[in-house]
Amino acid sequence: MGEYPVRKINYGYKYETHMHTSEVSACAINSAAQQVLSYKKQGYTGIIITDHFINGNSTCPGKLTWEQKMHHITTGYENAKVAGAKHGLDVFFGWEFTIKPSDFLTYGLDLDFLIAHPNLDKISIEEYSALVRENGGYLAQAHPYRSPWYLGISRPVSPHLIDGIEVFNAMDSDKSNYAALTFAKKHNLPIQGGSDAHRTYSHGYSGIRLSKKAESIHDIIGEIKAKNIEIIYD
């Protein structure tokens, strides 16, 4: 693991950047409230809920209207926010957008953005990238070299389409993570880590450390872009 940034003593604020709740992600085991409590016990300052969008492994019923679907997408986040206020854990909103076989973590946008863009799930990565960034959002490719048999072979997209890249995913292999890190270094992309947690016992494996507390999701985005973060890895 020597190629990853060495921990500095003043980088003491832990944030999860990639996680799921059972309310919205069909592959998740634990609820938002259970996730919040577990992360609090692990000493995290905050978490970004990144449930699967409706073009991924989502629990969203297909017969709903677009607006109803988008409200459903935020359910895990809303429940986590309530639990976070109770237990003293900051909760931020994001989602994991799928254009098979690749996934993209999206931060910095809200429910109003989602409602205003019906059929968002049917556009290309080029269109999605432009739309997200034009509206002030942040886009990072998740586990870019993950290749499970049931999903297909994923590879990094063109660097100009993303703002950052996940180079340590706790659920992925060392080989895939190192390949992502090599790609990031080659193209001078901001890096981040994430647990990709679908259940409580996988917590504590990854995320990022910041040197100061984030007051908003845009603070986290700014620190990632400035490369002023450290990766949490086990």
Q: pLDDT grade, residue 233 (50/70/90)?
A: confident
Query: Domain residue spans in the chain?
Result: 13-232
Contact at 8 Å (CB) between 112 and 226?
A: no
Residue 209 has pLDDT above 70, yes or no: yes
Q: pLDDT tens digits for 62-72? A: 999 999 999 99
CATH number, span 13-232? 3.20.20.140
Average pLDDT (156-180) is 95
Averaged confidence pLDDT in the chain: 93
What per-residue confidence (pLDDT) applies to 2?
45
* CA gap 215, 99 in Å, rounded: 31
Residue 1 has pLDDT above 60, yes or no: no
What per-residue confidence (pLDDT) applies to 71?
98
What per-residue confidence (pLDDT) applies to 6?
61
Residue 48 has pLDDT above 60, yes or no: yes
Q: pLDDT tens digits for 92-147? A: 999 999 998 899 999 999 999 999 999 999 999 999 999 999 999 999 999 999 87
What per-residue confidence (pLDDT) applies to 205?
79
How many angstroms separate the first and last alpha carbons of the chain? 9
